[in-house]
Amino acid sequence: MSESFTLTNISQLVTNNSAIGDGELGVITNAAITVTDGIVTWVGQTSDADSSFPKTDVGGRSIIPGFVDSHSHLMFAGDRSEEFAARMAGVPYSAGGIKVTTAATRSASDDHLRDVARSLINEMHESGTTTIEIKSGYGLDVATEERSVRIASELTDEVTFLGAHVVAPEFSSNADEYVDLVIGEMLDACAPHSHWIDVFCDRGAFTVEQSRRILEAGIAMKLSPRIHLNQLEQGDGIAMAIELDCASADHLTYLTDDDIAALAASNTVAGLVPGADFSTRAPQYPRGRDLLDAGAVVALSPDCNPGSSFTTNMPLMIALAVREMHMTVDESLFAATMGGAISLRRDDVGHLSIGAKADFALLNAPSYIHLAYRPGVPMISTTWKDGKVIFTKGDLA
């Protein structure tokens, strides 16, 4: 027996489908949405809603597609709050702190790693996120990287093998030997649990040539590539990322005009993670406005990780994109939903067209603009994934 329900009296329903609502966000006002067996089966005006299904009046509040977080590092143990405090007192950020997390992650049990990731996923649900990519990358040895992607695969379909996060401490004097391990035994152990392969191509991590070797080895094992790029300095990896058809190039704090033009002409999404620029006090934010003006697809993500950005909160990223990267509210909400979906090459999430997954969030606000207008305020009343409530403040009916 199929199960259906309808939500009515939605002040603004953001569908992200301009064919069924106003503007780029496809906004329907005074809207209703019907869900059948976890799929969106109807959207329209409340006055036209089918009265045969159980109905809930949401009281003139707004509904948006669930956020699609295309970049998170949830498989870790340990705490780096002191590194953060020192940074705020003037110590510059380098990727060196990753090794502190590596020591704690290696010695953590599977159950502990699972618990840490689950509690961060719950935070994500509380702030409206319904699709979550999870990376490994704090094990840096075969056993811990394998545990990381295996446990991540219990929690999401979007698992990314990031054995090449930094060179493991044991190989500090021979990075190429570590690359051999990553693309050999480690990749063999991790590929069966992973969909994606990623590499941190930047100062203090891997060169463009090493990154190419790593991504090409993953592609040969049927993994799809994505990349961390140009977080710490202006590098020259954009052409390689595009040539290998990376689904996204993430961070991009440093970009030339030519990089922007190349990304705009490619299928590689610009994954902007302004939480990392915020929490590392980067000298600048990525050029979100210029990327959009050039025609690039932009995705937003909190880049949740224990070092550079320990937040899961997508609405904060929207506020930063609007305030610091000069993206409009509409562009920022689109980047946090459809942008993430495009970055994960998914067409079933990030929008609320008929046939999409019924993943959405009810805001305690009459307009989605409140996501940026009320920075830091928890705006989410209730979150649905596959048509099921996965978080609620209890104020739905």
Instruction: Please enumerate in sequence order all residues whose Cβ is within 8 A of that of 116, keeping only pairs 6 or more positions apart, or say none.
Output: 74, 75, 76, 77, 108
Among 307, 315, 340, 350, binds ligand NIG (CB under 6 A): 307
Among 101, 224, 248, 312, binds ligand NIG (CB under 6 A): 101
Among 25, 252, 276, 291, binds ligand NIG (CB under 6 A): 276
Q: Which is nearer to ligand NIG, 231 or 337 (CB)?
A: 231
Q: Cβ(396)–Cβ(46) under 8 Å?
A: no
End-to-end CA distance of the chain: 25
- Check residue 306 for interaction with ligand NIG (CB under 6 A): yes
- Cα 329–Cα 231–Cα 205 angle in degrees, nearest 5: 150
Which range binds Fe ion by CB under 5 A, 24-32, 177-185, 189-197, 301-309? 301-309
- Cα 261–Cα 94–Cα 273 angle in degrees, nearest 5: 45
> At its nearest, how many Å lie between ligand NIG and the CB of residue 202?
7
Which range binds ligand NIG by CB under 6 A, 11-19, 94-102, 292-300, 355-363? 94-102
- Check residue 141 for interaction with Fe ion (CB under 5 A): no
Q: Cβ(19)–Cβ(30) under 8 Å?
A: no
- Cα 152–Cα 154–Cα 159 angle in degrees, nearest 5: 40
CA dist., res. 271 & res. 274, Å (int): 10
- The residues with which 257 forms a beta bridge, in sequence order, are none
Q: Which is nearer to ligand NIG, 162 or 336 (CB)?
A: 162
- Check residue 231 for interaction with ligand NIG (CB under 6 A): yes
Q: Which is nearer to ligand NIG, 103 or 264 (CB)?
A: 103
Shortest-Cβ-distance residue relative to ligand NIG: 307
Q: Cβ(272)–Cβ(331) under 8 Å?
A: no
Q: Cβ(43)–Cβ(29) under 8 Å?
A: no
- Check residue 97 for interaction with ligand NIG (CB under 6 A): yes
Q: Which is nearer to Fe ion, 202 or 303 (CB)?
A: 303
- The residues with which 134 forms a beta bridge, in sequence order, are 159
Site residue total, ligand NIG (CB under 6 A) = 15
Q: Which is nearer to Fe ion, 259 or 303 (CB)?
A: 303
> At its nearest, how many Å lie between ligand NIG and the CB of residue 386?
28
Among 303, 318, 320, 360, binds Fe ion (CB under 5 A): 303
Tell me the Cα Rg of the chain.
21
- Check residue 228 for interaction with ligand NIG (CB under 6 A): yes
**Segment holding 322, helix H or strand E:** helix 314-325
- Check residue 158 for interaction with Fe ion (CB under 5 A): no
Q: Which is nearer to ligand NIG, 31 or 98 (CB)?
A: 98
CA dist., res. 180 & res. 178, Å (int): 5
Binding site for Fe ion (CB under 5 A): 303
